[in-house]
Structure formats: C-alpha cells, structure tokens
C-alpha cells in the first residue's frame, strides 16, 4: 500500500483506455474463465470500481455521456445516429477542458461512436468530435476480411452484428487493437516531455470476435461456464423487449454458446495484452509516476444471460462495467476494490479534480477522488445509479432494488428484489405484494430523471 503523497504533481498525464462491449469478464473482477493478467496488474496500481454503471448500454449515447459529464437526456445524444456537436454545440468535452489547460489531447481509434466493423475496415469515422482533439488517428484493419478460421455462431442473425469468431492468422499488430497500441506508443514517445491527454480506443471484444489464434488457444470451449438461466426467464418481461436479441432470434445452440464464450474471452485477452504494452511503455518512458490511467468500457454485454445477447437491455450484465483508475500518488488504496455505487458520468469531474482544475459547474457526475483515497468512504452519498436505453427505457439500481420502465404503462415495468433475487430473474412489478415498492420506485426514478434533465 504505502503512504499517500503529500503533494499532487502538477499537470499529470492522462491515459484513458476504453474497451468496447466489455462486461465484467476480467480475472481481476473474479471471473472464473477469462484471463486478463495485464488489467489485473493495472488494478494492483489502482482502485477497482465494482459497482460502476453506464448511463446508456449503447455505444454512441454512453460515450457522449461520459465524455461530456452529462446524462444522455442532457447531452442530447440518445441514439448512435445523433451527432454530439449538432445536438449540443457549446458543450465542453473532457479533452477540451484539458486542452484549455495546456494539454495536448490525442485520440487513437474508437473513443466516440464508430460503426464496427465497417469504419475500421474503411479506416474512417463519421462520428468523431474534432473539437475534442489536437490530433486524431483512425486505424484501418481487415476485421471481417482477416484470414483465418471464420465461424458465425448466430445463424439467424443478419448483418454485421452476428456473433462471429475469427481465429486470425498473423501477429497482434495485424489486428486493430495491436495497431492502436502501436500508434499510442508513438504518441507517448513524441509527447513525453509535455502534458498529454491520450484516449485510446480498444475495439475488442466488440463483434466480430477477431483475435490472433494464440488467444483462442488459451481457452477450451468445453471448460466454459455457461450462465445458469431459468428456462422461462423471458416470460415475465414486457412484450416490448421480450424477444429483442434473444437466443431464439440469434439461433445460438448450446455448443455454439460455449464457442461464443471462448471467442469473447479470446478477444478480451487480446485487448488485455495491448493494455499491457501501454503500461510497459509508460514504465520505459519513466512516465508511470506522473500518469493517471483510467480503464473502462462503454457498457456491458449479454452472453446468454436472461437468454439475451449484445447490449441495450437494462440488466446488471449490460449496465455494469469494469473500471479501474490508477493514480500513482494515491497509493494507500492501491489494489483495493470499492463496492460503492458509481457511474461513468463521474469520470469527467474525477479527472478534472485529479489534474487540479476547477470542476465545471455543469457536470452532472460526482468526483471519485474520495473513493480513490478511501474505497470505503462512509461519506460517499451516491446510493443509486441511473441508466437509460432504447424504447424510452430507464432503470434505477439501488442496493435492494432494480426498477426498470420501458415507456408508459404497468405492462412495461420490471422490479427485481435483489436481496431475494440477485440474478434479476423474477419480475415483481405486477405482484400485489410489491405494490408499495413499485409506487416508491416509480416516483424515485421520475424525480431522478427530472433532476438530471
């Protein structure tokens, strides 16, 4: 652990590493199968956030939210098709604030929304926010065209979002995240003598699950732990979202399910290796002691839980994200994990405070610095997290309850008693015994939405 530094460094660097579609399948978060030694190493240098939740389980809205420090209903980005700057012309993004303070801000690969795999294959993005960067680098890779064993495990799903695994030929540098790490290393070397804000987007484990074959070889499909799900788990969900991205819609078989898990974990391990390269380069350049490292994902991802796949849903597997923040001079909490409720919208004020800036008053998140100093801080006041989704979806997660609504009407509600049902399998919204709780949660989520709107 060590002793806290008495003075914080002036103008510390920021390395923001964003994974894509990553749930909490990290060995450092207790996952039994997935191997992430480099992220585990980063966690020993920082604090893990065990109850970090996204504000929208969909790429564009989530990223616009935490990059602006605003909830989606305030950032005005509630869909992948909405352009942040057109919707909110005067917004001051996180990297813009750092640029105002003399930092050099750089984007490598996917930070704001990108169409994956299309825009990686073309090497061009249509959804970036150029005002956020001094420099921006797109990465071009073969993705679906990568040579190697290519299998679609979702035969009923059409288009680019199939659950497709590609055991790619070639080295780490032949795929997008290896190339992104290489470019980020070039940036660190070029900017090591001036303060930088470097945001590096790792595309994996977003579909297609492309990784060099050696990462697939780490996993035996027959050893995969399939999620335990009641056969009738979908029967009490609102009709509006009951069949969305379900196992039946995708056509996933039991054997295919095991192969999907293997492919997802292979993609995660490949991404993890690139994080390790970035950490090693910080060490080699003697930048580690002066660099804040943040690792997180835009949202979680269903791998058959609730008979569901992909994102957009409002269960724990899609709202909760793995997050690690490493602040070298706050050493007392290194290696610890906090179970306090936190949100991705909290990242912006956290980094602003760590860098010594005045936190912009418009930000809607709460600085996580108290938890970085004491993960069990008894003064931490956030006792609920709020997540929006498609179909006018909104979910409030507290210690005891998850309440979700999809637009108006009793038939579009979900209530889970997390003390009795931590897996969120039994929807109690229509159960007369829970009528009082439903009414309380309806009012609480309405008040919270009005507050952030």
Indicate if 361 and 404 belong to the same structural domain.
no
In this predicted structure, the answer to whether residue 428 has a pLDDT above a threshold of 70 is yes
* Chosen domain end from 375, 400, 426: 375
The answer as to whether 7 is a domain residue is no
The answer as to whether 296 is a domain residue is yes
Indicate if 452 and 399 belong to the same structural domain.
yes
Indicate if 404 and 276 belong to the same structural domain.
no
**Domain count of the chain?**
2
**CATH code assigned at 169:** 3.40.720.10
**Residue that the structure tokens 């420090």 belong to:** 69
Indicate if 312 and 428 belong to the same structural domain.
no
The answer as to whether 383 is a domain residue is no
The answer as to whether 385 is a domain residue is no
Cβ atoms of 338 and 375 within 8 Å: the answer is yes
Cβ atoms of 13 and 32 within 8 Å: the answer is no
In this predicted structure, the answer to whether residue 6 has a pLDDT above a threshold of 90 is no
Average pLDDT, stretch 42-62?
A: 98
Instruction: Output the pLDDT for position 207.
Output: 98
Report the alpha-carbon distance of residue 413 to residue 439 in Å, rounded: 11
Average pLDDT, stretch 216-237?
A: 97
Confidence tier at 3 by pLDDT (50, 70, 90) = very low
Average pLDDT, stretch 161-165?
A: 96
Average pLDDT, stretch 8-32?
A: 95
The answer as to whether 380 is a domain residue is no
Q: pLDDT digit string (tens) for 115-156? A: 999 999 999 999 999 999 999 999 999 999 999 999 999 999
Report the alpha-carbon distance of residue 427 to residue 436 in Å, rounded: 15
Instruction: Output the pLDDT for position 4.
Output: 56
The answer as to whether 381 is a domain residue is no
* Chosen domain end from 375, 405, 433: 375
Q: pLDDT digit string (tens) for 366-401? A: 999 999 999 999 999 999 999 999 999 999 999 999
Indicate if 245 and 121 belong to the same structural domain.
yes
Q: What is the pTM of this model?
A: 0.97
Indicate if 362 and 448 belong to the same structural domain.
no
The answer as to whether 415 is a domain residue is yes
Indicate if 23 and 138 belong to the same structural domain.
yes
The answer as to whether 292 is a domain residue is yes
Indicate if 397 and 366 belong to the same structural domain.
no
Indicate if 332 and 435 belong to the same structural domain.
no
**CATH code assigned at 444:** 3.30.1120
In this predicted structure, the answer to whether residue 160 has a pLDDT above a threshold of 90 is no
Question: What does the mean pLDDT of the chain come to?
Answer: 96
Indicate if 141 and 178 belong to the same structural domain.
yes
* Chosen domain end from 375, 406, 431: 375
Indicate if 366 and 414 belong to the same structural domain.
no
Hey, how many other C-beta atoms are within 10 angstroms of the C-beta on 329?
16
Indicate if 162 and 86 belong to the same structural domain.
yes
Residue 407 belongs to domain spanning: 392-453
Confidence tier at 7 by pLDDT (50, 70, 90) = confident
Instruction: Output the pLDDT for position 2.
Output: 39
* Residue 439 in tokens: 């009414």
């Amino acid at each position: 652990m060590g002793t806290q530094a008495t003075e914080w460094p002036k103008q510390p660097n920021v390395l923001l590493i964003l994974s894509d579609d990553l749930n909490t399948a990290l060995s450092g978060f207790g996952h039994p199968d997935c191997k992430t030694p480099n992220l585990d190493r980063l966690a020993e240098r920082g604090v893990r956030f065990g109850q970090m939740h996204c504000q929208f389980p969909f790429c564009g809205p989530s990223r616009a939210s935490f990059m602006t420090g605003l909830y989606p209903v305030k950032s005005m980005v509630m869909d992948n098709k909405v352009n942040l700057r057109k919707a909110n012309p005067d917004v001051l993004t996180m990297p813009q604030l750092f640029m105002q303070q003399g930092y050099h801000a750089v984007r490598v690969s996917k930070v704001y929304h990108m169409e994956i795999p299309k825009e990686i294959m073309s090497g061009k993005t249509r959804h970036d926010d150029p005002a956020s960067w001094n420099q921006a680098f797109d990465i071009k890779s073969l993705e679906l065209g990568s040579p190697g064993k290519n299998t679609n495990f979702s035969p009923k799903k059409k288009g680019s979002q199939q659950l497709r695994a590609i055991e790619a030929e070639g080295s780490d540098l032949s795929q997008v995240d290896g190339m992104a790490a290489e470019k980020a290393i070039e940036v660190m070397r070029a900017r090591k003598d001036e303060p930088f804000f470097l945001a590096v987007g790792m595309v994996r484990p977003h579909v297609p699950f492309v990784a060099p074959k050696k990462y697939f070889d780490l996993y035996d499909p027959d050893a995969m732990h399939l999620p335990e799900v009641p056969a009738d788990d979908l029967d009490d969900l609102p009709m509006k979202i009951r069949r969305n991205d379900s196992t039946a819609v995708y056509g996933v078989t039991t054997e295919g399910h095991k192969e999907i898990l293997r492919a997802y974990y292979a993609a995660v391990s490949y991404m993890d290796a690139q994080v390790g390269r970035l950490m090693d380069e910080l060490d080699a350049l003697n930048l580690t002691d002066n660099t804040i490292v943040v690792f997180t994902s835009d949202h979680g991802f269903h791998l058959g839980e609730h008979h569901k796949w992909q994102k957009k849903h409002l269960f724990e597997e899609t709202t909760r994200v793995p997050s690690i923040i490493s602040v070298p001079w706050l050493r007392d909490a290194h290696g610890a994990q906090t179970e306090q409720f936190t949100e991705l919208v909290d990242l912006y004020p956290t980094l602003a405070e760590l860098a010594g800036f005045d936190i912009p008053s418009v930000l809607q998140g709460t600085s996580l610095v108290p938890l970085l100093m004491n993960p069990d801080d008894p003064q931490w006041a956030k006792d609920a997290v709020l997540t929006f989704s498609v179909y006018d979806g909104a979910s409030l997660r507290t210690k005891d309850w998850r309440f979700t609504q999809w637009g108006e009407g009793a038939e579009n509600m979900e209530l889970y008693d997390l003390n009795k049902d931590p897996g969120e399998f039994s929807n109690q919204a229509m159960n007369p015994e829970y009528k009082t709780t439903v009414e309380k949660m309806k009012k609480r989520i309405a008040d919270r939405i009005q507050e952030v709107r």
